[in-house]
A and B are shown apart, each in its own frame.
Chain A
Amino acid sequence: MSKISLIIQREYVTRVRKKSFLIISILGPLLFIGIRFAPRLIVASRSEHQRVVVVDETKTLCGVLESNATVNYDYGYCNIDVNSVKKIFADSGHVSVLYIPKTEQIMEVKLFSKSDPGDDVVSSIEYQMNNILEKAKMKAENLDQAMIDKVKSHVKVKDIVNNKIANAGYNAGLGYACSFLIYIFIFLYSMQVMRGVTEEKTNRIVEVIISSVRPFQLMMGKVIGVGLVGLTQFLIWVILGFAVFSVGSSYIQSKEIDPKNALTEQTYKMGAPEQNGSITTVNTSNLDAANDTDDGLDNMLRATNWPLVVGGFLFYFLGGYMLYSALFAAVGSAVDQETETQQFMLPVTMPLILSIVVMGSIITNPHSTVAVWFSIIPLTAPVAMMARIPFGVPIWQLGLSMVLLIAAIFGAVWLAGRIYRVGLLMYGKKVTYKELGKWLFYK
């Protein structure tokens, strides 16, 4: 067995055996799902208790507003003087008093609470009141419901790129998810490389090891070993995430049996896969999902160029990691203790953070100058290019970006190797950038 594979094996095995690896492997997907569903859960749990006592001087809305998940209306005090009602509930935390003063037209109502009931409650009340008042007014003007429905329009833009149904929102979501994963992965595992290097240095085991293997072998062994740990982690996430997702969605499906949805799905399955979202597919989706706001997720999944997205993801995922972990290894070797890494971290992490900062603008405008440059410059390309790929990227830009990234990896590994072999044996010295520069030229 060659020495570098021994090193890779040690780096891999010691990390995968750690408890923290197991915990992150399990918690990771749960966290993602949590982020996805947390807002709904929070809303649902918080608003259950909001009791709204209605005091209605107009006598028009008493008993009309309907309690829902957010607000629970109480009409027991409808005709009592507002000030005495306020006094009754002055000290109740989860009770608000809705006061509708007597006016010609209801323009403003007041909601008295001890603690802020939150936006959801306020907007729920506004929405219901507006709806009810609108309908009342229309009735007064002799407009019937059928007429109103006829007047309302529902225009939807079908975005068709290269004869495939596209969806900017969906592409943005895909791009965002992929780039964000790459960003997290690079950060998480490059830091592990750095920490490992500093650990070996402070442990003072490094001199024994580099009397057996070259510093470069040790560095690359660590980079590759930790990278494999990351890949393993990612695979576990994908498998676990997929399992949880399919269990979850089958649970949801069993709860809301919708014959129209079932039919839609069957139609898609019957359609030949080569059709690639051609006119027929568009038609079926138009027919079946006439007022479907979701726009047929299946359709879009088929429209995405999966080989490109998956290939691009793996390339930028691994390439970005290689580039940054080499640089982080150099940082780790230049200092004596982990706490001293700060001074060299900033320039290394800057491009990465910058690329996540501009990601929003890249996704809203994937072909802007900023987006193009960020996706070509190697230090920002992994995150920036991945955000663009789902929208479609000119082949020359993709090619240039990949070639430059590979070149940058070689450059970074060379640079890091030069700093690393000197840094490992430097103790008790506060290293400056000037010094780092000199190390490059040591024999």
Chain B
Amino acid sequence: MGNIITAKNIVKRYSSHVALNDVSFHVPEGIIYGLLGPNGAGKTSMIRIINQITAPDSGEVLFKDEKLTPRHAELIGYLPEERGLYKKMKVGEQALYLARLKGMSKADAEAKLKAWFIKFDIKEWWDKKVEDLSKGMAQKVQFIVTVLHEPKLLILDEPFSGFDPINVEIIKGELHRLKKEGVTIILSTHNMASVEELCDNITLINQSKAVLEGNVNELRHSFKEHNWQVKFKGDDNAVKTALNGKFELLDLTPENNLSVARIKIPEGQNSNNLITALLPSCSIMGFSEILPSMSEIFISAVKRTNPTK
């Protein structure tokens, strides 16, 4: 499948700083794509450019190989990080208004809204004013409004903030369902656990530049440091002797009545050699490679690109 979004050499300058400096990436259709980066890295600037809220100083964004134009706005659903609703307006009326701004007809919007309100069990809120809703309730309404017009591309900026764990699960379920239906989702978040859980591909933006792009699994493999975890039953000292300086023991901790060792395999050696070395000294109960978490990759990539202070 092709790319739904292609960003080419995007540059965005503000009076005091450069928000995006020659950023390029592409988002394949039908996946969940993570847009990551520390605060102030330029994620929101990038998202606003895709939403045509601002324009880049140079570079271009393609939507399915077409240059982005205002009529694409109806194909995109956007949930900004800083989101709100008109406080004095009634929930149903407001949702209808926002849906119609996305180009839906009144009847269509009303029918679909009613279905969503039943699905999320918030039917009785229709005639309530927004100021009477809790923050979590308002977030639900905002999510509905974002997806109501059945966009091909969904852009969610920190979608889980402000939700309780139960509602986070509901939203995650909806995201999986939407992905199955072929919707592409761009997710900007600081929550690395949800990136590992949800995202297929990511781009990491740091200091206005894209410093890392690719498939989450591939990235984790490429960042691996050949560390392995061995669970065994036996004498700790015998194991230490067996490693015999050929393998580096990172740490050793007891777990229930087993021991867990983390061992680094140096270049020139492989996992089979490690097993062979260990076999005489203990009985191996578990053996697995340790892949770095997205959080570790994030931190190491950010550290690598930041000048040492």
CB distance from A192 to the nearest CB of B (A): 14
Stretch at the interface among A60-68, A183-191, A201-209, A231-239: A201-209
Interface flag for B55 (CB, 8 Å): yes
Interface flag for A214 (CB, 8 Å): yes
- Could you say which of B15, B54, B83, B146 contacts A438, with CB atoms under 8 Å apart? B15
| Contact present for B97 and A10 (CB under 8 Å) | yes
| Contact present for B101 and A207 (CB under 8 Å) | no
- Could you say which of B14, B15, B73, B84 contacts A203, with CB atoms under 8 Å apart? B84
CB distance from A417 to the nearest CB of B (A): 14
| Contact present for B89 and A14 (CB under 8 Å) | yes
Chain A interface secondary structure, helix, strand, loop or mixed? helix
CB distance from B61 to the nearest CB of A (A): 13
Instruction: Provide the residues of chain B in CB contact with A210, threshold 8 Å.
Output: 53
A242 to B84, CA, bound (A): 44
| Contact present for B87 and A203 (CB under 8 Å) | yes
Number of A-B contacts (CB under 8 A): 71
Interface pairs (15), CB distance under 8 Å = A7-B101, A10-B97, A14-B86, A199-B86, A203-B84, A204-B82, A204-B83, A205-B86, A207-B78, A208-B83, A211-B78, A212-B101, A214-B70, A427-B82, A443-B55
Known A1-B100, A443-B55: A212·B73 in contact at CB below 8 Å: yes
Known: A7-B101, A200-B86; 9 extra A-B contacts, CB below 8 A, are A14-B86, A203-B87, A205-B84, A208-B142, A208-B146, A211-B73, A425-B53, A443-B54, A443-B55
Instruction: Provide the residues of chain B in CB contact with A204, threshold 8 Å.
Output: 80, 82-84
Task: Please name the residue on chain A nearest to B146 by beta carbon.
Answer: A208
| Contact present for A211 and B53 (CB under 8 Å) | yes
Interface flag for B51 (CB, 8 Å): yes
CB distance from A93 to the nearest CB of B (A): 50
Interface flag for A49 (CB, 8 Å): no
Interface flag for B147 (CB, 8 Å): no
| Interface size of B in residues (CB-CB distance below 8 Å) | 34
Chain A to chain B: the 8 pairs with minimum beta-carbon distance, closest first: A204-B84, A212-B101, A207-B80, A203-B84, A211-B78, A211-B51, A204-B82, A438-B15
- Could you say which of A14, A203, A207 contacts B53, with CB atoms under 8 Å apart? A207
Q: Mark B43-67, 1 if CB is under 8 A from A, else 0.
A: 0000010011111110000000000
A6 to B102, CA, bound (A): 11
| Contact present for A213 and B85 (CB under 8 Å) | no
Spell out A's residues near B (CB within 8 Å).
1, 3, 6-7, 10, 14, 199-200, 203-205, 207-215, 421, 425, 427, 435, 438, 442-443
- Could you say which of B48, B52, B79, B101 contacts A209, with CB atoms under 8 Å apart? B101
Instruction: Provide the residues of chain A in CB contact with B51, threshold 8 Å.
Output: 211
Task: Please name the residue on chain B nearest to A422 by beta carbon.
Answer: B54
Instruction: Provide the residues of chain A in CB contact with B82, threshold 8 Å.
Output: 204, 207, 427
Instruction: Provide the residues of chain A in CB contact with B86, threshold 8 Å.
Output: 14, 199-200, 203, 205
Interface flag for B20 (CB, 8 Å): no
Instruction: Provide the residues of chain A in CB contact with B246, threshold 8 Å.
Output: none
- Could you say which of B48, B87, B146 contacts A425, with CB atoms under 8 Å apart? B48
Interface flag for B233 (CB, 8 Å): no
Known A14-B88, A203-B87: A425·B54 in contact at CB below 8 Å: yes
A211 to B44, CA, bound (A): 13
Spell out B's residues near A (CB within 8 Å).
14-15, 48, 51-57, 70, 73-74, 76, 78-80, 82-89, 97-98, 100-103, 142, 145-146
A208 to B77, CA, bound (A): 9
CB distance from A21 to the nearest CB of B (A): 13
A28 to B57, CA, bound (A): 51
A443 to B70, CA, bound (A): 16
- Could you say which of A6, A421, A425, A427 contacts B101, with CB atoms under 8 Å apart? A6
| Contact present for A6 and B73 (CB under 8 Å) | no
CB distance from B16 to the nearest CB of A (A): 9
Task: Please name the residue on chain A nearest to B45 by beta carbon.
Answer: A425
A204 to B73, CA, bound (A): 19
| Contact present for A212 and B98 (CB under 8 Å) | yes
Instruction: Provide the residues of chain B in CB contact with A1, threshold 8 Å.
Output: 100
Instruction: Provide the residues of chain A in CB contact with B102, threshold 8 Å.
Output: 212
CB distance from B228 to the nearest CB of A (A): 47
| Contact present for A213 and B101 (CB under 8 Å) | yes
| Contact present for A209 and B83 (CB under 8 Å) | no
**Chain B CB within 10 Å, residue with most, of A14, A205, A214, A421:** A205
A204 to B52, CA, bound (A): 17
| Contact present for A208 and B89 (CB under 8 Å) | no
Task: Please name the residue on chain A nearest to B78 by beta carbon.
Answer: A211
- Could you say which of A3, A203, A208 contacts B145, with CB atoms under 8 Å apart? A208
Known A211-B51, A211-B78, A425-B53: A205·B85 in contact at CB below 8 Å: yes
Instruction: Provide the residues of chain B in CB contact with A425, threshold 8 Å.
Output: 48, 53-54
Instruction: Provide the residues of chain B in CB contact with A443, threshold 8 Å.
Output: 54-57
Instruction: Provide the residues of chain B in CB contact with A427, threshold 8 Å.
Output: 82
Task: Please name the residue on chain B nearest to A1 by beta carbon.
Answer: B100
Instruction: Provide the residues of chain A in CB contact with B101, threshold 8 Å.
Output: 3, 6-7, 209, 212-213
